[in-house]
Amino acid sequence: MSEIGNNLKRARLIKNMSLREVGYNLNISATAVSKYEKGIIMPDSKRLIEFANLYQVKVRDLLQSKKLPKMSFNSFRKKKSLTGKRLEILKNIILNRVRDYLEVLNLTQYNPIKLTKFKCNSIEDAEAIAKKYRKIINISAIQPISDLISILENLGIMIIQIVDVNNYIKDFDGLSEIVDDIPFIVLLDNIKDGARQRFTIAHELGHLVMDIADELDAEKMCHRFASAFLMPRESIINEFGNFRKNISLFELKTFKEEYKVSYAAIIYRLKDLNIISEYLYKRLSIEINTTITKNDPEPIRPECSNQFKKLVYQLDSKNIISLNKACELLGVSAYEYNRENYNY
């Protein structure tokens, strides 16, 4: 398949159009569209302009020869319903975003920071590794993590947030992978629940920093890591004690707001640490679902990464890249770029 063909297919998938829909809009057959994508036939300048207008991209985007990074997608959290075309679209979006990030990092002459990885042979190891990583980032066992994204980016982990247009890839939870020696965590940008977002990030961090034994359930280990990382045993005991026969919703609410975690995550953690019984856990679950339902009236505000944008603006201000290149990387017009840059 030619590079132009690859670009045509990628643009079509991101636009969420079928071969037949493209053919109909360009007044050609679906077979012809497929041949263009496979490189069997090459589009002339007129046809390239037609493709570019339809996909709402620039002709140079279809002509550019950029290698996509190699990714295994092994640590890929999604619901079973995310398959086929939607999954292929998501993977293409991720590959493009990672490629752009790597290009920017290369231009900034960034030196990757090697993450320390620990052996995980049991659930207790996951708990202990979470404690070790809190020490690495200089946060005590009874201190809440206020800005998780900033802390991880300072640790050398790149965070990519993907906008989900029309909830098309809403079944995607998160991904973590080391690409060209750079650790990445990818998640959705339009998650309204910051508690869920933070737990996903912590879960993916677990994949990056734990060498999990093959016989273990990796998702379960990372789930435990995330719980212990966001809610250390010491902080839980400090707030709730060693054993409780009952806990008020007010106590849970104040802990939720301080540690930026969900009600469900808190009571599950309490059960894991044997601070509450299975019976109390189930009772609290019912009470929370009944009182708060699925829509928390006071949700935790999601966090946002601005590091990629900051690096692009930095490269532009140093004249390392052109204004057009900066706009291309950020996916904005020159007007939008300048308005954000000077409208303060």
Question: 184-231, pLDDT tens digit by residue?
Answer: 999 988 677 899 999 999 999 999 999 999 999 999 999 999 999 999
Averaged confidence pLDDT in the chain:
89
> Looking at per-residue confidence, does 88 or 153 come out higher?
153
Give domain status of residue 69, yes or no.
no
Exposure string of 269-284, with b = 16+ CB inside 10 Å and e = fewer, is bbbbbebbeeebbeeb
- 3-state secondary structure string across the chain: CCHHHHHHHHHHHHHCCCHHHHHHHHCCCHHHHHHHHHCCCCCCHHHHHHHHHHHCCCHHHHHCCCCCCCCCCCCEEECCCCCHHHHHHHHHHHHHHHHHHHHHHHHCCCCCCCCCCEEECCHHHHHHHHHHHHHHCCCCCCCCCCCHHHHHHHCCCEEEEECCHHHCCCCEEEEEEEECCEEEEEEECCCCCHHHHHHHHHHHHHHHHEEECCCCCHHHHHHHHHHHHHCCHHHHHHHHCCCCCCCCHHHHHHHHHHHCCCHHHHHHHHHHCCCCCHHHHHHHHHHHHHHCCCCCCCCCCCCCCCHHHHHHHHHHHCCCCCHHHHHHHHCCCHHHHHHHHHCC
58 and 80 in a single domain? The answer is no
Residue 255 lies in a domain: yes
Considering the domain boundaries, does residue 71 fall inside one? no
The reply to whether 318 falls in a domain is yes
Distance CA(308)–CA(222), nearest Å, equals: 26
Q: pLDDT for 310-328, tens place per residue?
A: 999 999 999 998 887 888 7
**Do 311 and 187 fall into the same domain?**
no
Q: What's the pLDDT at 299? A: 87
The model's pTM: 0.83
pLDDT tier for residue 58 given thresholds of 50, 70 and 90: confident
Q: Is 253's pLDDT higher than 70?
A: yes
Domain of 333, in residue numbers: 307-342
Asked if residue 299 belongs to a domain, the reply is no
Q: Is the pLDDT of residue 243 over 90?
A: yes
CA distances from 63 to 6, 7, 50, 95, 238 (A): 10, 8, 13, 18, 60
Is the domain of 58 the same as that of 81?
A: no
Gap between the Cα atoms of 97 and 91, Å rounded? 10
Q: Check pLDDT > 90 for residue 68.
A: no
Each residue of 1-28: pLDDT tens digit?
A: 577 888 888 788 777 788 999 999 999 9
Residue 56 lies in a domain: yes
Query: What band does 344 get if pLDDT is binned at 50, 70 and 90?
Result: low
- The pair phi, psi for residue 258, each rounded to 5°, is -75, -45
Lookup: tokens for 16:
């969420």
> What are 88-129's pLDDT values in tens digits?
888 888 998 999 999 999 999 888 888 889 999 999 999 999
Q: Are residues 115 and 177 in the same domain?
A: yes
Q: What is the pLDDT of residue 343?
A: 61
Residue 68 lies in a domain: no
What's the structural domain count of the chain? 3
Answer for the pair 307, 153: CB distance below 8 angstroms, yes or no: yes
- CB atoms under 10 Å from CB of 138, counted, come to 8
Residue with tokens 């019984």: 277
- Looking at the structure, do residues 168 and 89 belong to the same domain, yes or no? yes
State the pLDDT at residue 229.
97
Asked whether residue 70 is assigned to any structural domain, the reply reads no
Same domain, 208 and 92: yes
Of the pLDDT bands very low, low, confident and very high (cuts 50, 70, 90), residue 330 is confident
